[in-house]
Structure 1
Amino acid sequence: MWPFVYLAVDWIKYNRTELIKIRDGSATSTTPQTAVLGLRALLGRLQLLRTPDWRSAARRTEGRRKRCARKQMRGKRGGLLARLKANAGRPPIPSLFLSNVRSLDNKLDLLRLRLGASREMRNCSVLCLTETWLNDNMPDPAFQLDGRLLFHADRNQQSGKARGGGLCVYVNKDWGTNCTLVNSHCSEAIEHMTVKCRPHYLPREFTAVFVTAVYIPPGAKANGR
């Protein structure tokens, strides 16, 4: 049964016979031309739906829509860099920051400013600083950074110098809190300090990470003289 069609422009009701005449082009001249064109287009679409392959055409259209459907929004950044930024506290390889500060006492405010302004530096796993110029008369809380564990090895009398040198290691608590100082050494030729860290996330093949900070004075000689 052909449906009745209402044209919103002329408010004309067409029955089955009149629709067939319009389709075949034998409509009377009293039918408005706009109604004829509109109804012919409508009947063409209805005739297409009556064809045997209309179901396959609908399936093809549905398949195209499924292929175009995406789980993530368009323009969303992906890749390794985006995953590392999303999980800053769980990097597969710890990120290190090394700097020769030449007196940490007057660089501490700048260091805190850099940690607050730079996301890469703030998410860094370990900060290694050389030539801190620290000594026993300087308390540890004065050089403590928020969210980080402090380990330092100051220059002693075995180096032959009373001032300068020194090593400092800051470990990010978001990366790991189970950290211990393994050893430290200070001499005229070299200064080094090793910290053992067990981070919150580590590949299964590894059980711990050893961070070693090394400083060689400019006047040091390889033969020890």
Structure 2
Amino acid sequence: MLPEERPDVPREAEEEETGRRAGVERRARRRRYRPVLPSIIMGNVRSLPNKMDELAALDPASAGTAELDGFYTLLRADRSKESGKRKGGGLAVLVNDRWCNPGHITVKEQLCCKDIELLAVSMRPYYLLREFTHALVVVVYIPPFANADAACDVLLSAVSRLQTQHPDALLLISGDFNHASPSSSLPKFTQYVTCHTRDNKTLDLFYANTKEAYHSLPLPPLGRADHNLVHLLPVYKTLVHRQPAVTRTVKKWSEEAEEALKDCFNTTLWDVFSDAHGEDIDSLTHCLTDYINFCVENTVPTRTVHGASPTASPGLPRTLRLSGSPEGEEESFCVWK
């Protein structure tokens, strides 16, 4: 490799730029016009091969091309014989590569039976709020002839397993539920589809485990499909903006403050404490602790800090943002059934 050549390093693996001031609010201002949650297009399209041109036209990044390679990562759950149908069908999730690296996408669960078809996918995107460890997407199809109660039980079991394994994840459930309504089985989830998806009925539903997260807009059907598409736009307000700012007083430690505190301790007659309390260890410990705190209060300067509440930026041991994430993302991922 010549000296002037630069190695081919993935953008998400590059080191984060230095020289920027830290802080949750500053990071939020830098991403002011970017959605904090993924934007989603969902719908029952009946078949995909004959609709690839229209599908590509939904995203300006891939408009004018008949293929989606290089723009989306496709995850499929083809229909099996256990479904009771002879041909066709299945679930598919298209993930925008601008939103999540293909190497950070994992299929967590896949199920196909006569009552329900289910595909659960785990994603660790380039950027996600500190409130969530990662994103879990569950795609569901419940046939019209299925047992609604049995299908909801299977869905509830799968969601419960995912929540037990990943309690802090953003969990999204999308699907064509037909006559089944899992709202009673998922009391802690919010349903966001408010428009009709087939004639005057709302068969396609979308659930999330957080409130006030999305706003739904109807889109025309894809090709000759009998279901309208639904565009889920993120309207989520981050925790740091929902909670009021707080004012805290912190110690301003420095080498000068440490030296002054050492001088204070060196000039202290420690025998006075032991003589006054004798063999009472508990009383001696409390007295020494109060004296040390008194010295710190009078020696180390303090300053007032005005910022976000500690609960708005939990100190969880995780890294959710990789530097070098692509700019100007469109639909983060699309769900098709």
TM interval, short-chain normalised: 0.3 to 0.5
TM-score, normalised relative to structure 2: 0.32
TM-score, normalised relative to structure 1: 0.47
The structure having more radius of gyration, on CA atoms, is 1
